[in-house]
Amino acid sequence: MKRMLSVVIPVFNEEGSIKTLIKNINTNIQKIKTSELIDDYEIIFVDDGSGDSSQNIIKEAIDTDVHIKLITFRTNFGKSKALEAGFRYAKGDIVITMDADLQDDPKEIRRFIEKIDEGYDLVSGWKENRLDPLEKRLPSKLFNWVTSKLSGIKIHDFNCGYKAYKKEVVKSIAVYGEFHRYIPVLAKRNGFRVTEISVTHHKRQHGASKFGCERYLRGLYDAISSWFLLKYYEKPMYFFGKIGLILLSVGGLVCSYLTCLWFLGYPIGTRPLLTLGVMLILIGAQFISMGLIANILVDQDKRRANDTLYIKEIYERK
Ligand code: UDP
Ligand code: MG
């Protein structure tokens, strides 16, 4: 059986790294090809609206290397959309994603493929010896711990850009917004087998990280969102509706009780209980409306995930 590998690489202003990256990937994949783990491969760069010469460097490489392909965006849409575009376009039976900044070492590609061949659908990289500053590692640790606890997926590094997938996984998930951090969660939700391998990690040599210290707060948001997404993404109404109905019922009971009193001739206009009852009803109704709106948003999001309008051009040597 002929087997093809696609390497998908999101790029946002990485001009200093690309040439070396291509050379390293090619060297490593050639070695893998001789051991017959794969028969053919493609390297798909997705240029996420870079303002530097990244795009030109990749186009030059395409002139001499038939394996390289480039998808360009009109502007910076973010890493998730870059991955999504690559996933839609990839032809491989196995897809590997990797950052463009030389922090992920292409020599690990072989181990990723071997792990997939053990029967896993998604193999996530774990930067066990992570060479990033502490202010990046700490919030990441917290995010990973919480996400792992809430999702029940026992991996250490959800956000690692270095991952391998079977084709079915990338074709069945939609990555957008900040979803690139939850790909293992998305995959597990679709019933795929997820595991991890520890990978070598290098310091960033060129350019700067594209994600700053807003990581601290984002880590917290991400933890809450990943729990919510895993449990309620399909039907947010089940979450909001439940709270809404409880509040509405308690409010209804309180107001019914007061109405009875009123009919019996007791004054109720100044009772704090009246304010509470009315508030509970109003807030309950709000929660239910929120659930409805959330349902509409999920529906629209799913449709939008299928369009590839943000792609400007696709370069490929015929
Ligand atoms: N990236 C991207 N779009 C963005 C931000 C980042 O395509 O808006 C790419 C970036 O070029 C790199 C990868 O995503 O290849 C990871 O980014 P970075 O190294 O800045 O993240 P970190 O390693 O700091 O988590
Ligand atoms: Mg990096």
Whether residue 108 sits in one domain with residue 58 = yes
- pLDDT of 93-142, one tens digit each? 999 999 999 999 999 999 999 999 999 999 999 999 888 888 778 878 88
> What does the alpha-carbon distance between residue 197 and residue 164 come to, in Å, rounded to a whole number?
10
Residue 191: helix, strand or coil by DSSP? coil
Does a structural domain hold residue 119? Answer: yes
For a ligand 1 pocket test, name from 7, 21, 101, 209 the mutation site with the most ligand atoms within 8 angstroms of its C-beta.
101
pLDDT of residue 218: 67
For residue 70 the two structure tokens come to 């480039």
User: How far away, in angstroms, is 15 Cα from ligand 1 center?
Assistant: 13
User: What is the average per-residue pLDDT within 15-44?
Assistant: 94
- Burial class of residue 224 (count of CB atoms within 10 Å of its CB; 0-12, 13-18, 19+): exposed
Residue having the nearest C-alpha atom to atom 8 of ligand 1: 78
Whether residue 127 sits in one domain with residue 64 = yes
Does a structural domain hold residue 307? Answer: no
pLDDT of residue 307: 54
Q: Does the CB atom of residue 200 touch ligand 1 within 6 A?
A: no
pLDDT of residue 281: 98
Q: What percent of the chain has pLDDT over 90?
A: 64
What DSSP line would sit under 37-48, residue for residue?
S-SEEEEEEEE-
pLDDT of residue 213: 67
* Residue 193 scores a pLDDT above 80: yes
> What does the alpha-carbon distance between residue 46 and residue 43 come to, in Å, rounded to a whole number?
10
User: What is the average per-residue pLDDT within 229-251?
Assistant: 92
- pLDDT of 260-312, one tens digit each? 999 999 999 999 999 999 999 999 999 999 999 999 998 887 776 555 545 66
Whether residue 213 sits in one domain with residue 240 = no
pLDDT of residue 207: 87
* Residue 62 scores a pLDDT above 60: yes
For residue 108 the two structure tokens come to 């690990």
Does a structural domain hold residue 62? Answer: yes
**Identity of residue 85:** A
Q: Which is more confidently placed, 183 or 175?
A: 183
Q: What percent of the chain has pLDDT over 70?
A: 92
- Nearest bound ligand to CA 103? 2
Count other Cβ atoms within 10 Å, centred on residue 45.
Answer: 30
Instruction: Count the domains in the chain.
Output: 2
* Residue 195 scores a pLDDT above 90: yes
Whether residue 61 sits in one domain with residue 9 = yes
Count other Cβ atoms within 10 Å, centred on residue 205.
Answer: 11
- Nearest bound ligand to CA 9? 1
* Residue 29 scores a pLDDT above 90: yes
User: How far away, in angstroms, is 97 Cα from ligand 1 center?
Assistant: 12
Does a structural domain hold residue 310? Answer: no
Whether residue 213 sits in one domain with residue 295 = no
Tell me how far the alpha carbon of residue 182 is from its chain's centroid: 4
Residue 55's closest CA among 91, 111, 15, 3?
A: 15
Whether residue 160 sits in one domain with residue 228 = yes
Q: What CA dihedral angle connects 35, 36, 40 and 44, to 10 degrees? A: -50
**How do beta strands 163-166 and 94-97 pair?**
antiparallel
Whether residue 183 sits in one domain with residue 132 = yes
Whether residue 283 sits in one domain with residue 139 = no
Q: Does the CB atom of residue 100 touch ligand 1 within 6 A?
A: yes
Q: Does the CB atom of residue 106 touch ligand 1 within 6 A?
A: no
Whether residue 241 sits in one domain with residue 284 = yes
Predicted model pTM: 0.81
User: How far away, in angstroms, is 11 Cα from ligand 1 center?
Assistant: 7
Does a structural domain hold residue 305? Answer: no
* Residue 42 scores a pLDDT above 90: yes
Q: Supply φ then ψ for residue 3, to 5 degrees.
A: -125, 135
**End of a domain among 233, 261, 291?**
233
Whether residue 285 sits in one domain with residue 267 = yes
**End of a domain among 233, 268, 286?**
233
**End of a domain among 193, 210, 233?**
233
Whether residue 211 sits in one domain with residue 153 = yes
Range(s) of the domain holding residue 248:
236-300
* Residue 174 near residue 111, CB atoms below 8 Å: no
The CATH number given to whatever domain includes residue 157 is: 3.90.550.10
For a ligand 1 pocket test, name from 70, 99, 205 the mutation site with the most ligand atoms within 8 angstroms of its C-beta.
99
- pLDDT of 208-238, one tens digit each? 887 766 666 766 676 677 778 778 877 899 9
Q: What are the residues facing 10 on neighbouring strands?
A: 46
pLDDT of residue 230: 74
Does a structural domain hold residue 315? Answer: no
Whether residue 215 sits in one domain with residue 245 = no
User: How far away, in angstroms, is 36 Cα from ligand 2 center?
Assistant: 30
Q: Does the CB atom of residue 196 touch ligand 1 within 6 A?
A: no
